[in-house]
Amino acid sequence: MSLAIMCSGGDAPGMNPAIKRFVDYVYEKGEIPYFVYNGLEGLIDGQIERATHKDVAGIVHRGGAIIRSSRSKRFYEYKYRKQAYENLVKSDVTGLVVLGGDGSFRAMDLMSREFDLNFVGIPTTIDNDIYGTDICLGVDTALNVIRDALDKIRDTASTFSRAFIVEVMGRDCGYLAIVSAITSGAEICIVPEVDFNKSVVEEHLKREIANGRNYILSIVAEGTKKTNEIAQWLENSVGMESRITVLGHIQRGGSPTVYDRMLAFEFTIRAVDHLLANTSSNKVVVIKNGQYGMCEISEVVDNRYTINPELLGMLNKLD
């Protein structure tokens, strides 16, 4: 049997450990591993090559993905999806592991309805916005990158008596912002999932400033598009000199944490085992309440991820 692995959409730390485990484990099982280079673009162009142990030597600590990734406009067109499928058949690939986010799973769901596909998705995105799994590959590393940045920003904010507005990624999801705000002791957190009551917070902050507070750390999820508005409000209404820091793509890089490496190994072993035991199955490997499992791809793409209400509730306790 020949199994292939592909990365698609936004890269995330943990892709390389997953790629390494994939190659080593497929060989252990007596089968042949393949790489699809450059994500869906590469699949369309037939960039499918046999993988060797040498290809994956010394990559476990590296961020990004040695086989690269892409977003593909062409994949929205049927003729290119057909071409992609035919390339898999031509290379005798009988099973495909896809490391990707919700967009990539939507693409694979569509392809699996149109063609006879055998694939398993591994939820891989820093955004943590995929239905059916508590955590996605890459999230833990991104959270640690943000934590490191926030600790540093707090140093300068507290020394210089300023308000800092830190914009974090997450697309339409506030998960990274919420967990970062809670674990870094931020005073304010603005996310798409919760309305923000400026006047209540303003009153509270003014009271604290009168009692000696000399800096404010505020986390804004990119999906709110409120970074500038919050900065102006803190400067003009709350009355503290403000600075904006947009963390941007820094959050997608860096050496994967131990947690992400372990998650990559566990997800990959399950994905490969599933592909070897099935011939026409379209699933996503997930982790729920500490238990690994498989979810139908249709269930994953037809439902929207929602943040645990207990976590959302913790926003009320920021101070």
Ligand X SMILES: Nc1ncnc2c1ncn2[C@@H]1O[C@H](COP(=O)(O)OP(=O)(O)O)[C@@H](O)[C@H]1O
Ligand Y SMILES: O=P(O)(O)OC[C@H]1O[C@](O)(COP(=O)(O)O)[C@@H](O)[C@@H]1O
Cα–Cα dist 269/18, whole Å = 9
Q: Which two tokens stand for residue 269?
A: 């072993």
Q: Does 81 bind ligand Y (CB under 6 A)?
A: no
Rank residues 21 and 171 by Cβ distance to ligand Y and give the closer one: 171
Detail the DSSP E strand segments found in the chain.
2-7, 32-36, 48-50, 95-100, 119-123, 163-168, 188-190, 216-221, 242-246, 282-288, 291-296
170 binds, among ligand Y, ligand X, none (CB under 5 to 8 A by kind): ligand Y
CB of 274 to ligand Y, least distance (A): 23
The owner of tokens 């800092």 is 164
Q: Does 130 bind ligand Y (CB under 6 A)?
A: no
127 is catalytic: yes
Which is nearest to 111 in space by CA: 143, 140, 130, 89?
A: 89
Give the dihedral of Cα atoms 171, 299, 116, 3; nearest 10 deg.
60
206-225 mask for ligand Y (x: CB under 6 A)?
Answer: ----------------x---
Count other C-beta atoms under 10 Å from residue 44's C-beta.
22
Q: Of 109, 127, 187, 193, which one interacts with ligand Y (CB under 6 A)?
A: 127
Count other C-beta atoms under 10 Å from residue 192's C-beta.
17
Cα–Cα dist 296/305, whole Å = 15
Q: Does 171 bind ligand Y (CB under 6 A)?
A: yes
Q: Does 42 bind ligand Y (CB under 6 A)?
A: no
Residue whose beta carbon is closest to ligand Y:
10
126 binds, among ligand X, ligand Y, none (CB under 5 to 8 A by kind): ligand Y
Cα–Cα dist 215/228, whole Å = 18
Residue type, 228: N
40 binds, among ligand X, ligand Y, none (CB under 5 to 8 A by kind): ligand X
169 binds, among ligand X, ligand Y, none (CB under 5 to 8 A by kind): ligand Y
Catalytic option among 11, 127, 129, 140: 127
Q: Does 10 bind ligand Y (CB under 6 A)?
A: yes
CB of 69 to ligand Y, least distance (A): 9
CB of 149 to ligand Y, least distance (A): 15
CB of 100 to ligand X, least distance (A): 4
Q: Which of residues 247-306 bind ligand Y (CB under 6 A)?
A: 252
# residues contacting ligand Y (CB under 6 A): 12
Q: Does 125 bind ligand Y (CB under 6 A)?
A: yes
**Among the residue ranges 146-154, 168-176, 211-219, 286-294, the one whose residues contact ligand Y (CB under 6 A):** 168-176
85-114 mask for ligand Y (x: CB under 6 A)?
Answer: ----------------x-x-----------
Cα–Cα dist 165/141, whole Å = 21
Provide the binding-site residues for ligand X, judged by CB under 6 A.
8-10, 40, 71-72, 75-76, 100-104, 106-107, 110, 125
CB of 256 to ligand X, least distance (A): 17
The owner of tokens 């699809």 is 36
The owner of tokens 């003009």 is 236
Helix (H, G, I), strand (E, B) or coil at 115: coil
Q: Does 68 bind ligand Y (CB under 6 A)?
A: no
Count other C-beta atoms under 10 Å from residue 105's C-beta.
26
> Helix, strand, coil: what percent of the chain each, to 5?
50, 20, 35
Stretch (H or E) spanning 309: helix 309-313
Which residues are the active-site residues? Answer: 127
Binding site for ligand Y (CB under 6 A): 9-10, 101, 103, 125-127, 169-171, 222, 252
